[in-house]
């Protein structure tokens, strides 16, 4: 390992009480080297629980992005990675998985500090990051050539579809699942033989740079992976519009996804977009009530509601409504807000002051439009939580599907409860959304639940469950929730180009009468 690959420690500026206190400083990772930004600028990554500085991070700009892209371009065009034996690439990806597992305690703590994830949730994320990369390592070893056996009669030709890497991938990830989202992008892109420029969120950059250290330690060829933390208008836009980038993989809001798609269109780049959601959670009359209540809470309050496929709209039949709400409110009141490092904490802070204000603004809007706050609706009045960006778990009743809180993505712990009379009405309202990412149905009758699930215009539907996303299954959205799929074999193919190869077996001009249309005998 080169000296620059080690974690640097610098004095914490302005700490007069403890001038010797040290803090972490992170650099960019470009072309196999840890470097400062060309501008020498940095930004602070802030702990959303106590507003302490987690790390000082080199702030990449457009020039840094260009350097990273050039390195990735050269690594793809001239380097060994795309030409490496599948088994060798697979072994290097497996090594990433192993290293994440070796460092799981350290990475979990860093994820908690950087993102506000509870330690229970963060520990699961680190475990899944390693498991996901292990799966992608197995995909890397697969032969993706597909024979086309029915295209031609025997003796005339052989036909195959060869899957080849797209080239340079620009990957842009959000702040809610920092390490896991990095793995979701890097795993399939690298497995297919691509090189990558990854931009983590400026709000949660730390575990991505730790991942760069792992990659560096393993000995990936220079330029195969480049990680450039920075801001979207500086780094993100350069990655998306740069002509040397062949594909964009983006996870984030629908509004930014539209901007990404527009910029990528200039060069007709391949895009994978996983964008917003307003997922419908439908409880049928025959549902196990206690299970459905717990499931509805898990669907919306997991990670403070900061999940693209969170169950933000709960559809209840009128016959069950009052009993369900009583149980839901009673359990919601028992949820503990607190220090994310405390294993007894159920909900931590949202990611930033801006996000806290955004969520509470939606609460105000919901009340203005006539919905009723059944529980929550405020920042907690607790001195122990005063420095954190907390929002109480909030349940709205009396919501109409046309209300703002039922149509726009809030990305916080805010649930809209909507009553319905018939299943057809529930399905109609569920589909009355610009989004189509996730959905759920709760029923003791699996056939009945399947019938409802088949009518939902959404990329994933859970029956008597929520949030369980497997690395082996495709994940993505209908409508304005995105383009393409991540995960599974379908997700891997998003990082490839399909090439049809026709192999002649006739071997004689006389046996090719179609030549006669142009070429005389």
- The answer to whether residues 339 and 223 belong to one domain is no
First to last CA, the chain: 66
Task: Say whether pTM exceeds 0.85.
Answer: yes
Instruction: Say if 353 falls within a structural domain.
Output: yes
- Whether 307 is a known active-site residue: answer no
- The answer to whether residues 266 and 354 belong to one domain is no
Instruction: Say if 468 falls within a structural domain.
Output: no
- pLDDT tens per residue, range 48-80: 999 999 999 999 999 999 999 999 999 999 999
Range of the structural domain that residue 193 is part of: 3-275+477-499
The catalytic position among 234, 238, 274, 309 is 274
- pLDDT tens per residue, range 138-158: 999 999 999 998 888 889 999
- pLDDT tens per residue, range 154-175: 899 999 999 999 999 999 999 9
Instruction: Say if 512 falls within a structural domain.
Output: no
- The answer to whether residues 225 and 80 belong to one domain is yes
- pLDDT at position 62, please? 98
pLDDT exceeds 80 at position 6:
no
pLDDT-derived band at 13 (thresholds 50, 70, 90) equals: very low
- The answer to whether residues 237 and 292 belong to one domain is no
Q: Which one, of 397, 355, 307, lies nearest residue 124 by Cα?
A: 307
- The answer to whether residues 290 and 384 belong to one domain is yes
Tokens standing for 103? 């460092």
CB contact at 8 A, 415 and 446? no
pLDDT exceeds 60 at position 507:
yes
- Whether 274 is a known active-site residue: answer yes
- The answer to whether residues 143 and 69 belong to one domain is yes
The set of residues, in sequence order, having a beta carbon less than 8 Å from that of 419 and lying 6+ positions away, is 315, 316, 317, 318, 321
- The answer to whether residues 357 and 247 belong to one domain is no
For the chain, what is the domain count? 2
- pLDDT tens per residue, range 270-305: 999 999 999 999 999 999 999 999 999 999 999 999
- pLDDT at position 520, please? 87
pLDDT exceeds 80 at position 8:
no
pLDDT exceeds 80 at position 343:
yes
Q: Mean pLDDT throughout 98-124?
A: 98
Q: Mean pLDDT throughout 23-31?
A: 95
Instruction: Say if 514 falls within a structural domain.
Output: no
What CATH code is carried by the domain that includes residue 94? 3.40.605.10
What CATH code is carried by the domain that includes residue 336? 3.40.309.10
Task: Give the C-alpha separation, 276 to 479, whole Å.
Answer: 10
Instruction: Say if 513 falls within a structural domain.
Output: no
> Mean pLDDT for the chain?
95
- The answer to whether residues 137 and 71 belong to one domain is yes
- pLDDT at position 18, please? 47
Burial (CB count within 10 angstroms: exposed 0-12, middle 13-18, buried 19+), residue 19: exposed
pLDDT exceeds 50 at position 7:
no
Residue 34 C-alpha from the chain's centroid: 25
pLDDT exceeds 50 at position 323:
yes
Instruction: Say if 77 falls within a structural domain.
Output: yes
Task: Give the C-alpha separation, 514 to 516, whole Å.
Answer: 5
- The answer to whether residues 284 and 271 belong to one domain is no
- The answer to whether residues 269 and 368 belong to one domain is no
pLDDT-derived band at 394 (thresholds 50, 70, 90) equals: very high
- The answer to whether residues 316 and 178 belong to one domain is no
pLDDT-derived band at 22 (thresholds 50, 70, 90) equals: low
pLDDT-derived band at 19 (thresholds 50, 70, 90) equals: very low
Within a 13 Å sphere around the CA of 446, how many CA atoms are in the beta-carbon half? 1
- The answer to whether residues 234 and 364 belong to one domain is no
- Give the percent of the chain with pLDDT over 70: 96
pLDDT exceeds 80 at position 20:
no
Instruction: Say if 217 falls within a structural domain.
Output: yes
- pLDDT at position 4, please? 41
- pLDDT at position 400, please? 98
pLDDT-derived band at 21 (thresholds 50, 70, 90) equals: low
- pLDDT at position 152, please? 86
Instruction: Say if 285 falls within a structural domain.
Output: yes
Q: Mean pLDDT throughout 414-420?
A: 98
> What are the backbone angles phi and psi of residue 276, rounded to the nearest 5°?
-75, 175
Q: Convert 400-452 into a string of H (helix), E (strand) and C (coil).
A: CCCCHHHHCCCCCCEEEEEEECCHHHHHHHHHCCCCCCEEEEECCCHHHHHHH
Sign of the C-alpha dihedral, residues 325, 355, 254, 462? Answer: negative
The catalytic position among 308, 309, 423, 471 is 308
């Amino acid at each position: 390992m080169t000296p620059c690959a080690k974690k640097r420690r610098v004095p914490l500026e302005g700490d007069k009480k403890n001038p010797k206190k040290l803090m972490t400083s992170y650099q960019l990772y470009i072309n196999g080297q840890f470097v400062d930004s060309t501008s020498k600028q940095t930004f602070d990554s802030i702990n959303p629980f106590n507003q302490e500085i987690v790390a000082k991070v080199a702030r990449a700009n457009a020039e840094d992005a260009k350097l990273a892209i050039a390195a990735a371009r050269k690594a793809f065009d001239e380097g060994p990675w795309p030409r490496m034996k599948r088994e060798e690439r697979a072994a290097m990806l497996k090594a990433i998985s192993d290293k994440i597992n070796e460092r799981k305690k350290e990475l979990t703590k860093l994820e908690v500090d950087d993102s506000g994830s509870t330690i229970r949730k963060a520990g699961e994320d680190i475990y899944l990051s390693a498991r996901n990369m292990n799966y992608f390592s197995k995909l890397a070893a697969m032969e993706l050539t597909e024979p086309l056996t029915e295209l031609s009669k025997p003796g005339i030709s052989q036909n195959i579809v060869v899957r080849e890497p797209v080239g340079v991938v620009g990957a842009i990830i959000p702040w809610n699942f920092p390490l896991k989202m990095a793995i979701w992008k890097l795993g399939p892109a690298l497995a297919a033989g691509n090189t990558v420029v990854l931009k983590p969120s400026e709000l949660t950059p730390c575990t991505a740079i730790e991942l760069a250290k792992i990659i560096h330690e393993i000995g990936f060829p220079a330029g195969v992976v480049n990680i450039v933390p920075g801001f979207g208008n500086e780094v993100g836009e350069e990655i998306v519009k740069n002509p040397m980038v062949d594909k964009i993989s983006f996870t984030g809001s629908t509004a930014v996804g539209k901007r990404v798609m527009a910029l990528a269109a200039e060069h007709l780049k391949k895009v994978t977009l996983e964008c917003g959601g307003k997922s419908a959670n439908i409880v049928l009359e025959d549902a196990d009530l206690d299970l459905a209540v717990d499931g509805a809470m898990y669907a919306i309050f997991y990670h403070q509601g900061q999940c693209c496929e969170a169950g933000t709209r709960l559809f209840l039949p009128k016959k069950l409504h009052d009993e369900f709400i009583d149980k839901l409110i009673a359990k919601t009141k028992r949820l503990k807000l607190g220090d994310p490092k405390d294993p007894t904490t159920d909900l931590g802070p949202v990611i930033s002051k801006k996000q806290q204000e955004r969520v509470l603004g939606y609460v105000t809007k919901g009340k203005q439009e006539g919905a009723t706050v059944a529980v929550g609706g405020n920042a907690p009045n607790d001195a122990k939580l005063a420095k954190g960006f907390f929002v109480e778990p909030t349940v709205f009743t009396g919501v109409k599907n046309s209300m703002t809180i039922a149509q726009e993505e809030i990305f916080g712990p805010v649930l809209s409860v909507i009553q319905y009379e018939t299943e057809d009405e529930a399905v109609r309202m569920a589909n009355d959304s610009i989004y189509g990412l996730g959905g759920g149905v709760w029923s003791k009758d699996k056939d009945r639940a399947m019938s409802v699930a088949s009518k939902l215009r959404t990329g994933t539907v859970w029956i008597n469950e929520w949030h369980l996303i497997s690395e082996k299954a495709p994940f993505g959205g209908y409508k304005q929730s995105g383009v393409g799929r991540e995960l599974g074999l379908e997700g891997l193919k998003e990082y490839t180009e399909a090439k049809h190869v026709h192999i002649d077996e006739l071997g004689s001009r006389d046996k090719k009468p179609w030549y006669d249309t142009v070429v005389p005998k």
